Amino acid sequence: MILNPDSLNHSGIYFNFAIKMATETERKFLVKGEFRHLAVEKISITQAYISKFPDKTIRIRIAGDSAFLTIKSRIENMEFARNEWEFPIPVQDAREMLYICLPGRIYKTRHLIPSGKHTIEVDVFHEKNEGLIIAEIELKAEDEKFEKPEWLGVEVTGNPEYYNANLIK
């Protein structure tokens, strides 16, 4: 969090008016083999969308005992990278905001798996997406090399069928 002294209100509480934008460069794969024994952490996730368009989304996510409001948009002339702003919000606020979201929810369990200098996030989907398992790896650049474990299957990066916003049912 970037704290600006000018953002101190009269009660002495800081308001963060300077959230830095991040670029997310991510590759996605279907999972073809067993991976669960490699996980160092599991997180239950519920998410829904306030807005979803092909080039931008606004999402509410409750992940374990944390919650986030996330805005994503495409970057022109980039294949995998997107702009991403993620703001932590109180879990109770997130639960209330779910009621104003578009119909449908995503329920999944995220497994965090170390792989070389990266962490692969494997999402095991539940309910209406039961049986779907997608692995994501976040990179520093589109051309960055990474270790591809044998349990990663077909790459689905850029395939709209596997965008979380399109899995809302």
Active site residue ranges: 49
Q: What pairs with residue 81 in β-bridges?
A: 25
Question: Is 93 within 8 Å of 122 (Cβ atoms)?
Answer: no
Could you tell me the sign of the dihedral formed by the alpha carbons of 85, 88, 93, 96, in that order?
Answer: positive
Distance separating alpha carbons of residues 105 and 139, to the nearest angstrom: 27
Tokens representing 9 are 């209100």
CA 22 to chain centre: 13
Distance separating alpha carbons of residues 31 and 136, to the nearest angstrom: 10
**What letter would DSSP give residue 159?**
-
